[in-house]
Structure formats: structure tokens, C-alpha cells
Structure 1
């Protein structure tokens, strides 16, 4: 797989996924709740040739008590803040569906797609546990099957809303005084177990037609939704052999769901810590673990930009994944070293262009053409 075809993503979770990352001298924890922190991280990633950043979100505080950095900004708002400071990198904030109306999520991601000229995506997530349910007080805690059944319906609603304006619905016809052609706006008329939405959206069809949808395949319930709905499927594995087997299984499941596996990109999560030397990188992780022990949740790479480049090459050559999402243990340290990867700059165009995925035609335009 050529370097230009290998997708490189970066997850920006607070000061890093290691719970003690905020204690590092270079953590910039004091800036975590400022726009500048996020702008600096994303623009550095863009200069390093990273294709897209993923911004986690939740309606619950981070677990771990006083020993971890707690509190978070809204992921969609972060993406909107950095949109104007970037030109090429994809922006995929998480948006939880459990306590959020899909109409609101559809509008937010559509707006981000306009703000970025077609670089937006949406990583679908759910709100697990009683704490988040009690914070809203609207419904009881749900099990994984119920949560992801609701998420499946929410994605259907959102994508229908994205299609509800045909591409040429906005006509701006000054002589007749018509800004839109009402015949090219469509009711979606969705009725499911969790939502009943008529539509249409109040936002025109965005540059990508439909923004990229990402889902992490963490368990049976989320995997079932991912193979039916996602453009990007994220997964974790302990080594490259396991990753290759899981990618094959995911592609087989995508085909069984009557979808083209080549129209879906499967991305391997890799936890990473980088330094000027492998010895320094290992010593820094030892220090992090002295403060708060952290067990790896996926393949972990501790080393230098050169050794990371070797790993990325091995992932591509082995067919273990279509790309990688780096999850830095400590974000400022990682982004400082990523420029040494010497990747080609991200090309202009939409996120769909970068992923070599076609721009979908509105399902309602297709129905109208068939009817005529």
C-alpha cells in the first residue's frame, strides 16, 4: 500500500489518553479549556500530514477521580473553532446519540461540513452507564444492545436529513422571488422505536452530500451498527496478526450486510508515545505509570518518529488495516514529533476525496427521478 493511500488519523483526547498525562511539564493542562490549545494541536497535525483528527466527547466526567484531568469541552464546538485555522485536515468530532436529538446532530455536522468546505465527519457514540442517564433524567440506563439499536436509528434519521435537500434545491431566483425550490425539499417521514422525525432538515445539502460517519467496533452491538452504517470503522487489536484477522472479519460482515467492503475504510487504533530516542520514550511512559498505572487497550507503540514510520509501513504492507488512528498517551509530546514522519501534505478537497469514497446522490432525488 502506497503512503499516499494509507490513512493516518489522530485522536485528541484532553492532554492524552494516559490518565496522568496532565502532570507532564509540557502537557499544557492549564490551556486545556481554551481554543488555542486545540487550534495548536490540530494545525500541528495538519502540518505533519495527518489526514484527520478525531475528538472524543461524552456527557460524563472522566473516570478516576481527582487524580485525572476531568471536564471537557464540546467536541463539535472544538471542531468548529479549529475549522477556520485549517485548510485540509478532516475533523471528526464524536456526537453521542443517547441523549441528543438526531435532528440537532444532523444540523451541527452539516454546518461543520459547510464551515470546512467538506472536511467534516461524525464519530457516532452512545452514553453508557447510570451517571449520564441520571444527569439528563429523561430515561433509565440502557444496556449495550438498546443503546446501539437507538444509535442505528439515529444514524438513519441523520443521513435521511442530510439527503432531504436535493443538491440544487437552493435556486435564488430573483425574478420570481424564490430562494429555494420547495419541490426539492423532502419529508423523511421516519418512524422507529426511538424517534419519529418528519423533516426536512433546515440546512441545505452540504459539500460532501453526506459527511463521513465513523463507528468504533468495540463489542457485538457497536460492531453490528458499524458494518451496516459506517464509512470508517475503528477497531483495536493487540498485534498485527490479530488486526489482519479482525479486518478480514469486519469486511466479511460488511459484505454480509449487503454493502461493498471497498466502500468502507477499516482503521486500527494504535496507542503511541514519541520522543527523541526509544529509551527516552520508555522512561517517560514509566514516569507516567508511576503517577497512575494505565493498561494498554490496544496495540501500543513507544519509540521515535522513525520507529513509528516503520510500524505504519508494516500495517500497510500486512493488510492489517486501511489506516491507523494514533491515540497519543501525551498529546503535546506526540504532535511535536509527528512532523518528523515526513509524510506528504494532505491534499486539498473533501474528506471523501481523501478517502476515495464517492459523493452519494440524495436518495430523494433518485426517488423523484424514478417517479418521473
Structure 2
């Protein structure tokens, strides 16, 4: 059983509900400003949340039945990785986990961008790995087949996950390509680096081939922890193969929390893994002063959107209160979950409730330590993940000479 529950807030625009921008007030006018993101993220950091994930996509927003942008919800977004780098200096202990797709993005750019974030944040970077399955996204790059061929390709989720496995492997190799002590700054010999401590990330697969090393020296964590959403069977298999932290969706499509956790443990066993990954329950929440108030607020948003959000969400949607959430989180802890990722339906209303009300309530319930005593170590340590040891460490280790 985890000794300390992990709490992650998932940030997206004005909130996860498509009608949330109607309740955001002045904040809805600042969604593409650094000020908006810094205000929201700093509040999560200051009040004790462990990490934030920042959503991203190659589309400007959701599409309607005709395939056109849905203009009734937020359209337009900032790049999650760049946002994380921009707000990092304003935070102290919070993990910063941008969503970065691997379907159309070069592994080299993924690796170096996340390494840069790990340096800028002094070891608090993470990566939510994602695939991009739609022809609409593919058309933006012009690197995939068009028309019907694209539809066939992107109907095959297994192809996307196979490609993502290769990209994750290449990124990991690039992260390992510099030894911790590769920079020697030897003034006497005029050598800034020891070339023998930089390794080529040799990889040739079905989708990507890479030769050479990263341009970024090894970052504080070595390998920032990888988060993956396991909301269906193939995604769960991929998460066990490629991720350090697995997000599951209890209650969605009738799946019980206990069964989802058991599935991840079974997949780990089948894969021959001796690592038990932290598993977080992923839930969309609207937090009210009472159950009735929360239910009414969600109903009003659904009416404004023209449809219940629960009908299109890929996780459970809870209209709830802080005490109810504390009880739920405690129950999940008893089952063996490491924590939760909460998707606030309204930002800043629900994200503020998470940081200002839920965090102290969890402390009172004995599920978390007080903010003053929380660890400020790197994100891997905070999540209970072992330090990353480079695959090249033994190759470059000094040889012991017998006396």
C-alpha cells in the first residue's frame, strides 16, 4: 500500500468540460497568455500538488460531426512543452508533465525538448506520451498518406502504438547518450568533454532509425518519468511497455478500479517486468459546496454544451465534494493505487478547489504530508520511481586495477 498518495492535476484550457469557458470569467480571455498558465500552475505548486500534466494535440480543438472545428468550445492552444519550460522558473517543487505526441514528431526533438525542461526545472520534468490517430492531424504534416489511405492507417491503433514503442525506446537511448560526468572542463588539456563518455543511440526499427547522440547533456533525472493513459486494452499494454506511471480510468464503461489495477499488474507479469509501476486513477471532477450544488453546476454546463460531457469523456465524470473525494481517494489507496490524476472540469474553479481545499483535507485525513514537509526532490523520487541508470553506465565505468 502506498504510504503517501500522489496528487496530479490535469490542466487543459478553461477546463475539461467543453462549456467551461463560459464560467471562467476574465480567465477565459487569457487562455493563450503566459500569465494564465503561470497563475494556475504556481497555485498548484505553492499549495502542495505533486505534479501537473498539460494537455496538447495537433488539432486546435474538438471537431463536430462534419469534421469541422467545434466553435462552441475553446479553439486554440499553446504548445504544452513550451508552456512547461516557460512556467518552470516560477515553480519550486511541482512536477511539470507536458503532453508530447510521438506520431508525427521526430524522436530527437522530443528527447531534447524534454531534457531541456528537466534542466530548466532542476529535475522536475515528466512526459505524457501520446499518439495522434486522426487523418486531420496527419494532414497538417504532409508526411503520411492522404485520403482513404490515411483513414486505413489511423484506424490501426496497433500500428500507432508499435511506432510509439520505437520512439519511446529511441528517446530513452538519447537521454542516456551522455554520461553524468561527460563534461570534464579540463583546462590543462583544453578538453571540455570526454568523448568516450558520449554514446551513439544506435537504433534501426520499422518506423524510426537514429544514429548519434543527443545535443543536450544528461539531465538531472537522467530520464524524466513517462506517463501513459491506459484507458483501453491496447493502451494498457503500451503503457506497461513504455511508461513509468500508468493512468487508468475507473468507472469508465463499467470497469472497476480493482480490475483495472489487476490488469496492469497482470500485464507487468506477462511482460517479465519486475517493476511495479505507480498506477493513478484518472478522474474528471467538478467540485461543489454540496453534492446537489455540484450536480446542478454540471447539469448547467451540459445544457450549455448541448450534450452530457459524460457521453464523450474517456473517463468517469464526477460531480462531487471535497469530503467525497477524500473518501474516494482513501478507498483507492486501500486498493493499492499510488494516487490520482484529477481533470478539473472548470479552470480556475475546480483547479483552485483541488489545491486550496482538497490538499489540506487529504493532509487532515492522513493521506498526505503537510506542504511544509513535502519532498522537494526530483520528480522520479517524488513518485517513488527508482533513479534512472544509464544503459551505457557499465561501458564507460572506470576499470578497477588490482593493487
TM-score scaled by structure 1?
0.94
Q: In the superposition, relative to structure 1, how do residues 218 and 371 fare at CA in structure 2: closer, same or farther (>3 Å)? A: farther
Q: Which residue does 1:358 correspond to in 2?
A: 386
Verify: 1:255 aligned to 2:269, yes or no. Answer: yes
Verify: 1:16 aligned to 2:33, yes or no. Answer: no
Q: In the superposition, relative to structure 1, how do residues 113 and 25 fare at CA in structure 2: closer, same or farther (>3 Å)? A: closer
Q: Which residue does 2:225 correspond to in 1?
A: 212
Q: Which residue does 1:330 correspond to in 2?
A: 346
Q: Which residue does 1:31 correspond to in 2?
A: 30
Q: In the superposition, relative to structure 1, how do residues 25 and 73 fare at CA in structure 2: closer, same or farther (>3 Å)? A: closer
Verify: 1:102 aligned to 2:119, yes or no. Answer: no
Q: In the superposition, relative to structure 1, how do residues 106 and 25 fare at CA in structure 2: closer, same or farther (>3 Å)? A: closer
Aligned-pair distance for 1:182? 0.3
Aligned-pair distance for 1:370? 9.8
Aligned-pair distance for 1:371? 8.9
Q: Which residue does 1:307 correspond to in 2?
A: 324
Aligned-pair distance for 1:26? 3.5
Cα deviation code 1:125-144 (max 9, x no counterpart): 11111101111111123321
Q: Which residue does 2:135 correspond to in 1?
A: 130
TM-score scaled by structure 2?
0.87
SS at match of 2:137: helix
Cα deviation code 1:87-118 (max 9, x no counterpart): 10101101111111000000000000001110
Q: Which residue does 1:53 correspond to in 2?
A: 52
Aligned-pair distance for 1:158? 0.2
Q: Which residue does 1:287 correspond to in 2?
A: 300
Consecutive unaligned residues of structure 1, counting only runs of 5 or more, are none
* Farther-moved stretch of structure 1 (248-257 vs 119-128): 248-257
Matches within 5 A, 1:60-209: 60-63=59-62, 64=64, 65-140=70-145, 141=150, 142=153, 143-209=156-222
Query: Do the aligned partners of 1:352 and 1:358 also contact (CA within 8 Å) in 2?
Result: yes
* Farther-moved stretch of structure 1 (332-341 vs 115-124): 332-341
Query: Do the aligned partners of 1:17 and 1:330 also contact (CA within 8 Å) in 2?
Result: yes
Q: In the superposition, relative to structure 1, how do residues 314 and 258 fare at CA in structure 2: closer, same or farther (>3 Å)? A: same
Q: In the superposition, relative to structure 1, how do residues 241 and 61 fare at CA in structure 2: closer, same or farther (>3 Å)? A: closer
Consecutive unaligned residues of structure 2, counting only runs of 5 or more, are 65-69, 364-369
Distance 1:25 1:269 in 2: 23
Distance 2:76 2:286 in 1: 23
SS at match of 1:136: coil
SS at match of 2:140: helix
Query: Do the aligned partners of 1:120 and 1:211 also contact (CA within 8 Å) in 2?
Result: yes
Distance 1:25 1:110 in 2: 33
Cα deviation code 1:285-332 (max 9, x no counterpart): 11101111212432333222222222211211233x221100111121
Cα deviation code 1:162-201 (max 9, x no counterpart): 0000111011111111111000000111111111101211
Distance 1:311 1:249 in 2: 20
Query: Do the aligned partners of 1:18 and 1:329 also contact (CA within 8 Å) in 2?
Result: yes
Distance 1:205 1:297 in 2: 36
Query: Do the aligned partners of 2:294 and 2:320 also contact (CA within 8 Å) in 1?
Result: yes
Q: In the superposition, relative to structure 1, how do residues 280 and 232 fare at CA in structure 2: closer, same or farther (>3 Å)? A: same
Distance 1:326 1:18 in 2: 13
Distance 1:356 1:255 in 2: 20
Matched residues, number: 369
Q: Kindly report the root-mean-square deviation, in angstroms, between the aligned alpha carbons of the 2 structures.
A: 1.9
SS at match of 1:5: coil
Q: Which residue does 1:349 correspond to in 2?
A: 377
Aligned-pair distance for 1:369? 4.2
Cα deviation code 1:32-64 (max 9, x no counterpart): 000111111111112332111011111113224
SS at match of 2:86: helix
